[in-house]
Amino acid sequence: MMAAERIAGLIGSLPPLRGRVQENAPLAPFTWFRAGGRAELLVRPADVDDLACFLAALPLDVPVHVIGASSNLIVRDGGLPGVTVKLGRGFSAIAADGDAVMAGAAALDVTVAEHAAAAGLTGLEFLSGIPGSIGGAVVMNAGAYGGDMASVLDWAEVVTRNGEQRRMMARELAFAYRHASLPAGAVVTRAGLRGIPGAATLIAARMAEIRASREASQPVRARTGGSTFRNPDGMKAWELIDAAGCRGLTRGGAMVSEKHCNFLINTGHATAADIEGLGEEVRRRVLAASGVTLEWEIRRIGIPAGRPEVVSP
């Protein structure tokens, strides 16, 4: 737990905010793993102007973390120092205009896909298979089922760490595999996506196909964080994990999914250390069996409660 006097001092340094501030806020309920530590201060801005004014006046020595749907996130058990920003209702609007869909960073990917379908736009169906929000999808160049953000994004609006509001065109983001180049500390607040006019029946059929495929192959009803490791070039992470004998492997309350072994699961009482430690054990075994060092796709942030485990490349 964060020291009360440190939190009091941090509160005293905060600029005015129209949104909400919560001290020593538990973050586990926000993460799909349902595990992890607390935020010294959890800040929920009312809208983009509130966020911009807040960041412009926030001392630069105060750490800032941003969380969204937290579907691919481990918050370590020691928690997050400084300010944790969570974008909420004021960042969730979705609107279609012609072949464009504008979506706030807090809008869920599946909801954006549904709005595009309702507008008769194809090309965004892949979003229905990604369990996250649009802000995170931009930051990670999220992709699945034959599509990714790099192929559909026109622009992204961001607020920089010094409070500047900017619109960045897709080419400025220099998209790579699961990566976008954003200014350090920038917060994505809205994105403009492009679709193609299509037949409603075909769009609906494709989304149903994606939903069925995901439910058949992934542990969608478990406490998980999505794909744990990136696919190495020309290889599938799950195949390497399976070949290393890690399917069903456990550590504390964490387990490698029997259904899809590139997914880690909280079986009910896992700590963040259990989950991250299990991931590192998987990396060790894959490295020993194949010579391949798996790279984490899940973000891991915060302070470990104990000594972290690492695998050197």
Q: Which residues are the active-site residues?
A: 178, 227, 297
Contact 180, 140 (CB under 8 A): yes
Burial class of residue 258 in the structure, from the number of CB atoms within 10 Å of its CB (0-12 exposed, 13-18 middle, 19+ buried): exposed
What number of other Cβ atoms are within 10 A of residue 239's Cβ? 13
Phi, psi (deg, nearest 5) at residue 178 = 55, 40
